[in-house]
Amino acid sequence: MSDDLEHDLISLKLHWLAANLSDLIARATRAKTAPRELIAEIAKAEILDRGARSTERRLRDARIGRFKLMSDFDWAWPKDLDRGAVEKALALDFLNDDANVILAGPQGVAKSMIAKNIAHNAVMAGHTALVTTAAQLVADLGQQESTRLLENRLRHYLRPTVLVIDEIGYLSFDGRAADLIFQVVSRRYEQGPIVLTTNLAFKDWTTVFPGAACLVALVDRLMHHAEVISIDAESYRNRENQQRLAKKCKAQAKPKEKKNEK
């Protein structure tokens, strides 16, 4: 009978109640909890549980992967970075205008880190997000074998509130790939924001999409409603490697110093 009840509760999507039924009944019996008070406790617990499950599902679907939180970011490190613009993007101000966010700068300056933090903040605020690289996007759409399958897959990139397209500029794409990216950008134009990272100025995108007929239109739609955030800094990874090397050298020097003192 108990198993049947738990099954029925799960069918009704009352997962918290199904998982805590025995304990809840025991506590309510001991405390002689009034029916209205008991129902109120169940309702509150179910609302919290559903919110947590929804956030967990959105985080999984966002495919953000591993990233460092902005609380670990050294704002004094970049030579040039508009902190106010970054913090507005992290606060999701751009969602009000369906505006894009373009993070531009050389390799290793935390563009992807900032983009992933924006996606994470969107999910935690109750929105949906999806993080992909330009190469993954092109490979996914390019393998669809019919117009119908391509249309279905395009909707995958149109659904999220925030779409992050990472790493445009590291690989060159042919005209077909440019057309696929253009379809995503064009369909999200003034409908859903894109957060994009690139290591190249837009004037140099001809090296990424050589001969692409849609390039001007692609850049135009990306830039029409966009906050462009430029980052000028040395490579963060190189900086970390140098810091680790300095610590290692310092640690190796200490025993020698002690020996000399003796």
- Residue 4's pLDDT band (cuts 50, 70, 90): confident
Among 62, 86, 111, where does a domain finish?
62
DSSP labels, 209-235: STT-TTHHHHHHHHHHTEEEEE-B---
pLDDT tens sequence across 186-227: 999 989 999 999 999 999 999 999 989 999 999 999 999 999
Closest among 57, 79, 58, 77 to 68, alpha carbons compared: 77
State how many domains the chain has. 2
Cα(116)–Cα(63) distance, rounded to whole angstroms?
A: 10
- Residues 179, 53 share a domain: no
pLDDT at 162: 98
Q: Check residue 253 and give its pLDDT.
A: 76
Tokens of 121: 């903040």
111 band by pLDDT with thresholds 50, 70 and 90: very high
Are 173 and 137 within one domain? yes
Percent of the chain with pLDDT over 90: 80
Q: 74 and 31: one domain?
A: no
Reported in sequence order, the residue ranges of 40-158 that DSSP labels E, i.e. its strands, are 100-104, 129-133
Q: Residues 167-189: pLDDT tens digits?
A: 999 999 999 999 999 999 999 99
Band of the pLDDT at 239, cuts 50, 70, 90?
low
Looking at the fold, whether 110 and 23 belong to one and the same domain comes out as no
Q: From CA 32, how far away is CA 151, in angstroms rounded?
A: 58
Q: How far apart are CA 27 and CA 96, in angstroms?
A: 46
Q: Which of 23, 41, 62 is the last residue of a domain?
A: 62
Question: Among the listed ranges 14-23, 128-137, 140-149, which one has the minimum average pLDDT value?
Answer: 14-23
Whether residues 74 and 39 share a domain: the answer is no
User: In terms of residue numbers, what domain contains 123?
Assistant: 70-238
Amino acid sitting at position 207: T
CA-to-CA dists, residue 105 to 20, 172, 201, angstroms: 51, 17, 8
Q: What percent of the chain has pLDDT over 70?
A: 92
Same-domain status, 197 and 124: yes
Please, which pLDDT band fits residue 248 given cuts at 50, 70 and 90? confident
Instruction: Identify the pLDDT of residue 226.
Output: 96
Q: 91 and 212 share a domain?
A: yes
- Residue 6 has what pLDDT? 87
Residue 134 has pLDDT above 60, yes or no: yes
- Model confidence, pTM: 0.84
When pLDDT is averaged across residues 150-159 and rounded to a whole number, the result is 97
User: In Å, what is the CA distance from 93 to each residue of 152, 205, 259?
Assistant: 30, 27, 59
The answer to whether residue 253 is domain-embedded is no
Residue 2, pLDDT score: 64
